[in-house]
Chains A and B, each alone.
Chain A
């Protein structure tokens, strides 16, 4: 294991320990619910950033995989009652397979065409969910709750155990994605983003690189869907609707695309804003819209990108300014 990989693993472990200690410090159910939702949407948004930030592929249909994760997991649990870890693994495989098919068509396209064809696939899957009533429950969603049989002594019907499970999935998912973007494949993906023609001449298979990123992003988005389906104990067509993809794009814009943890920061901001503003203001859409405008027009980048650039600029300025030299016998 390389030193950066070891550092990332240590940071992930520390992050998980902090999250694990949190319920011991506070008994706030709202905080526990907040972290579970953060885990679901954080994984979803970070997976989108694999495409947007690292791959230069702005997908408007990423909600497809979030919905796919929620529905696949929910249907598997309701119909087969298999152990939860197996259902999660199968869900990841199903989503990756669907991503392979969708990606095989989409990643050949560029920019707006890519965005619109991914959106078209999402709407196709959304329509299938609505129409395939016997399996999906149609527009009423998967009803009757998702069974959560205990495994390895873990009972996900208990909210605190679900919290720890979600936190573990979040940390493991983020660590895996971090490893991907730090690997040679991650650098190849960035090179394809910056100049696909040059990358091609250097021997990188552009199509395969983009497709691999698309499949991986789809699988991680579906993991977010699994957590959300456990949180609401169901799956609903809204999870696979275009507004879900729009929410992920907002999150990425709020948090920033240049830093790996930007989307997670964006998730925290959006959920905090949403929860706080909907409690206090009737016209919360107006407030949320204004904040997003502030980020888009004022900062012109995500919060984490802005902070990191500001810190970097400050370090550069400090390094450039010569340290004052004390001269004996003079006073100021």
Chain B
């Protein structure tokens, strides 16, 4: 009996089918073996105007995940970061966060969303009970308001109220030294801009009672032209100007104000200046701008912080942003908590995270703490300094003592009815 080509094909087909069937049968076992990794979901903004910040969040977290995995992962289980774009829309943030948990099997969320998205993800965390670390929202009420408190939600990011206390303290010292009593403000017209400016002015007046605000300008967020604000500010002739404009809005304002020589006529306090995204984008960075630290590798002035900034730059070809260090720290906290709890279980990690202190390049004194009572980050480096036009951009940053921040924050919480 001769073998026909078709019968050979059939045998091959049978072999292929058998192999395929074996593969299908084995798939659940292979999947189960791989499922040992702890999936950490990260909803963030990877498209649109703030995509650079979301990308830096992903990069920084990934860099720390690689380090953590090299050191044994979370209690022996490797971390797998699953990152999804939310386009900065709260309904997408909610949808993506749910999908990460329900469909992708993520056991932990690092919510690298801006504030509105963060509140949406917070509600998902409430519904699903999953461990969630908010890593970018600076809105103080997210953790300060007891009505929003969840046992499974933490914040690993700077806070508006902390920055305002630090800024008010620093500015008051300059005011008292130089007699700058006439002030103006120019901040974006939305909740962050209005709240942060009000808090800064409140603390400034408290420490320097002679200060009066002679002009206020509220440009719209993402506004392209600041001529109206600039001429208003020049006409009011203040001695100092405060702004919490950020990102592209801040750099556009500085470039346009430079044409009118605004910075030669008044001291400029811009809380969001000392971030590489802003520092490297301004065409002619005027010297002497007062700024709070966002992320800068020279503050805290430690070899660990410089090494972290350089490592990030070497890996991704650009300097990290303020969102970057916060997300790196979120992964560090998870690794620290897993080590202490000897578990990767969300509930056990949450228990250990409350009050956990870890060593960190971003700490004011080399350490940061996840404060137990409101489950939020404290003891991170907070400082203010003045800019120069080239690296290191802010050669000297003055730290603000955390004890002072704690005292004033406690008063603020009492005034707001949060305690």
Contact = CB atoms under 8 A, between A and B. Distances in A.
Contacts of A133: 191
Interface of B: 46-47, 84-85, 87, 89-91, 94-96, 98-99, 102-103, 115-116, 119-120, 122-124, 126-127, 139, 141, 145, 147-148, 190-192
A238 B91 CA distance: 9
Contacts of B89: 238
Given A236-B90, A238-B91, A285-B47, A139 B116 contact: yes
Given A30-B102, A33-B99, A233-B123, A239 B116 contact: no
Which of the four size classes fits the interface of chain A? 20 to 34
B85 A233 contact: no
Majority secondary structure of chain B interface residues (helix, strand, loop or mixed): helix
A238 B116 contact: yes
Contacts of A318: none
A139 B191 contact: yes
A182 interface: no
A79 to B, nearest CB: 13
Interface in A13-56: 28-30, 33, 37
Given A233-B127, A285-B47, A140 B102 contact: no
A157 B98 CA distance: 14
A143 interface: yes
27 contacts: A29-B103, A30-B103, A33-B98, A33-B102, A37-B91, A37-B95, A130-B190, A138-B191, A139-B116, A139-B190, A139-B191, A139-B192, A140-B116, A141-B119, A141-B120, A228-B91, A231-B95, A232-B91, A233-B124, A233-B126, A234-B90, A234-B123, A236-B91, A275-B99, A279-B84, A282-B46, A284-B85
Instruction: Report which residue of B119, B124, B139, B192 has the largest number of chain A beta carbons within 10 angstroms of its beta carbon.
Output: B119
Contact of A138 (B91, B103, B122, B190): B190
A149 interface: no
Given A28-B103, A37-B95, 16 more contacts: A29-B98, A29-B103, A30-B99, A33-B95, A37-B91, A140-B139, A140-B141, A140-B191, A141-B116, A141-B120, A231-B95, A232-B94, A234-B120, A236-B90, A275-B99, A285-B47
A144 B46 CA distance: 26
Contacts of A143: 119, 122, 141, 145, 148
Contacts of B98: 29-30, 33
B155 to A, nearest CB: 14
A81 to B, nearest CB: 14
Contacts of B148: 143-144
Interface string A215-240: 00000000000001001111011110
Q: Which of B103, B141, B192 has the most CB of A within 10 A?
A: B103
Nearest to B123: A233
Contacts of B85: 278, 282, 284
